[in-house]
Structure 1
Amino acid sequence: MKKHVLLLVAALGAAMPALAAEFKFGYVKIERIYSESAPALAAQKKLEREFAPRETELKRMAERAKALQAQLGKKIDDAARRAQERELSALEREYQAKLREFRDDLNQRRNEEFASVQERANRIVRLIAEREQYDLILQDAVYVNPKLDITPRVLKELER
């Protein structure tokens, strides 16, 4: 039995260079697709436009809180101080709640927008794989030889 296993391992070892020569590999850096492709840049601009009013409101609230804190540093009577402290406390709670909601909504919308970018990129990768007869195309790897990187071709196809 051990002889059969050794013969099989030896045969596979000898055949690996021939198999590797026939096997065509490719790699796509998905981070570049998300940061450099026209659809990803368009999605980012769309999100910025969509969320700009809420971001402006958050900035306005932060400025108001800063102004209230500055006023609390000045000499004022106790009643005015308590009123400003209550206002500041309420403003900070409201700000934190709106900030959480803003971040959640932005993350959800970003995921939605970038899912369509990834879907489109995956279609293009499949087209390139079929057209150029790739056997395997990876998206995540610890190290990849740069000559296997087909990301520039995918980016070019996404521009169309």
Structure 2
Amino acid sequence: MKLTLRCVAVAALASAALAAPPAMAQDNVRIGFVNTDRMLREAAPAKAAQTKLEQEFSRREKELDTAGEALKTASDRFEREAPTLSDSQRQTRQRQLVEQDREFQRRRREFQEDLNSRKSEELQQVLDRANRVVRQVAEAEKYDVILQEAVYINPRLDITDKVIKALNSAK
């Protein structure tokens, strides 16, 4: 008889616990999500930064492309003419080509390093600005948490459009 009363008491406590609403639901927590990749593709400040970088580096990139084409042309010419050249002429032209290639590779590396550095600077500025806008949206609309990365997010929690709109309108 004791065992049966104990089972009934445990069952009653369990059902009472399950029927009670969770503490978090009572607080009405608001969660939002911002798709950072999409924001960096679609927001005006991100597009402006990309355009700025393209303008800043387009001349150097064209110069490198031209130098690369010239090097390839010189190499092709050397390959065609090598059988008719004397040993000393062949060695001299080979050394010149190797030196030109070394210089081209150095310039290409410097270009890539400069481009990556400037991309990082511009990206950081856009992200700083975006984070300020996210904070403003969160405070204005009373969000408790805004996530920027998630394995899965329900589309109704996505506030990326609001953030992009606010970024585009902010000066």
- TM above 0.5, yes or no, is yes
Equivalent residue in structure 2 for 1:54, among 52, 60, 63: 60
Q: Does 1:15 align with 2:22?
A: yes
Shift of 1:131: 0.7
Report the TM-score when normalising by structure 2. 0.80
CA distance in 2, matches of 1:146, 1:83: 66
Corresponding position of 1:37:
43
Corresponding position of 1:3:
none
CA distance in 2, matches of 1:125, 1:105: 30
CA distance in 2, matches of 1:83, 1:16: 82
CA distance in 2, matches of 1:81, 1:142: 60
Cα deviations across residues 117-156 of structure 1 (Å, max 9, x unaligned)? 1111111111110111000001111111111111111111
Give unpaired runs (5+ residues) of structure 1: 1-6
Could you tell me which amino acid in structure 2 is paired with residue 15 of structure 1? P
- Identity in percent: 43
The question of whether the paired residues in 2 share the 8 Å contact of 1:72 and 1:84 is answered with yes
- Which protein shows a greater Rg? 2
Shift of 1:17: 6.0
Q: Does 1:77 align with 2:85?
A: yes
CA distance in 2, matches of 1:59, 1:32: 31
Aligned pair count reads 150
Equivalent residue in structure 2 for 1:25, among 23, 31, 49: 31
Give unpaired runs (5+ residues) of structure 2: 1-13
Could you tell me which amino acid in structure 2 is paired with residue 111 of structure 1? S
Corresponding position of 2:146:
137
RMSD, matched Cα: 2.0
Could you tell me which amino acid in structure 1 is paired with residue 96 of structure 2? E
Report the TM-score when normalising by structure 1. 0.85
Q: Does 1:157 align with 2:166?
A: yes
Q: Does 1:96 align with 2:102?
A: no
CA distance in 2, matches of 1:68, 1:92: 10
The question of whether the paired residues in 2 share the 8 Å contact of 1:61 and 1:95 is answered with yes
